[in-house]
Chain A
Amino acid sequence: MINILNALSLWILPCIIIYILIYALLKKTPAYEAFVDGANEGFKIAIKIIPYLIAIMVCTALFRASGAIDIIENLLKPVLDYFKIPIETTIIMLTRSLSGSATLGVLADIINQTGVNSYATKLAAVITGSSETTFYVASVYFGAVGIKKFRHALLAGILADIAGIVAAVYVCSIFFL
């Protein structure tokens, strides 16, 4: 079962790429030019996140090195152990809704700390990949058209984020434990 699921994960990407390329071929799209244009965008994004990455990684590195995190770790440990949640991933659950760049920083930090093939990394990656930065999206979209009364939009977004985290813990325990 797990093998089939892993194989499916492995095939999704090549299939999407081949489909996109064949479609472009049939439509006679200048695929090479389009690719180069798009790739240029990737360069800009990677450069743009450097300041955020530095800020977050320095913060968390300092916090860890200071020994302060040991205290929190001991307080939360029994609950987290019960659900088999690695302690390192608690920070990402808190930052996911607040800041997208911060979350990428925390993810990078978890990889740095626990190794790229650890369960903590996989859980954090799924949490990061499966959600958006609720507060950022709300401020951009409603801000753009001058909406001041958000009504139930934020609450619904946060509840969905929580549902996503619970689902991530459960799904990851099936796939990766």
Chain B
Amino acid sequence: MNYIFIFLIIISFVCAAINHRLDIAVDEMLAASQKAVEIAFGLIGIMGFWLGIVNIAKKSGLMDVLSRLIQKPLLLIFPDIKDNKEAQSNIALNISANALGLSNAATPFGIKAMENLQSQNKDKTKATNSMCTFLAMNTAGFQIVPAVVIAILSANGMENPTQIILPTLIVTSIAFISALFFVKVLERFYK
């Protein structure tokens, strides 16, 4: 990211100079930084609202119910954690939090789950099959409500930003299933 940042700016200025557009480039640069702050401020209200609602679900125990629901199918994906109850519940909590669009709340559970999986690992520097599977599931980022994206769309004045929920749900499910598929196929080839 460091190099991308530096090169993009330098190349842009060079190109702008060649194309005799330096004045436009400087104007655009200043306008964009202004716009960035406006967007972030527009986000505060909607982000606050959604995280508030989800925190109610967390406090009322609804999230625990959700995680208990997915505990059984989890064993199909992670066969070696049958006796590791702690890993089971942390993975379940991680997936539930992600599903609600709470990636910040999901991360602590995810790291805890990784530690639980690591305790069963013989070679502590090499990822086990379950660790790879868990990571791939997280990188696919399954979520039911893409709260942040909706917040951005609505902050910019889209009339009906919830219209992206269903297509996003379909796509995220496809990505999630293919992550599982790829990780299970590839694990045979990586020792």
A56 to B5, CA, bound (A): 8
* Consensus secondary structure, chain B interface: helix
Grouping DSSP codes into helix (H, G, I), strand (E, B) and loop, the A interface class, with mixed when no group exceeds half, is helix
| Number of residues on chain B facing chain A (CB within 8 A) | 104
Cα-based distance from A33 to B57 in the complex (angstroms): 12
Given contacts A39-B52, A66-B19, contact A144 B111 (CB under 8 A): yes
Instruction: Please give, as numbers and ranges, the residues of chain B lying within 8 Å of A90 by CB-CB distance.
Output: none
Contact A49 B40, CB 8 Å, known A10-B163, A152-B187, A163-B175: yes
B9 at the interface (CB under 8 A from A): yes
| B145 lies within 8 A of A12 (CB) | yes
Task: Please give, as numbers and ranges, the residues of chain B lying within 8 Å of A127 by CB-CB distance.
Answer: 171
Which residues from B are CB-within-8-Å of A75?
Answer: none
Other CB < 8 Å A-B pairs besides A122-B167, A125-B146, 20 of them?
A6-B166, A12-B165, A29-B60, A29-B61, A31-B60, A35-B52, A39-B52, A53-B36, A61-B29, A65-B21, A66-B15, A66-B21, A67-B19, A125-B164, A132-B138, A145-B114, A145-B117, A153-B183, A160-B140, A161-B139
14 contacts between A and B (CB under 8 A): A20-B54, A20-B57, A29-B59, A128-B149, A129-B148, A132-B139, A141-B111, A145-B115, A145-B117, A145-B118, A147-B126, A152-B187, A153-B136, A164-B174
Q: Return the 7 tightest CB-CB contacts between A and B, nearest first.
A: A38-B55, A132-B141, A129-B146, A164-B175, A42-B48, A42-B47, A160-B179
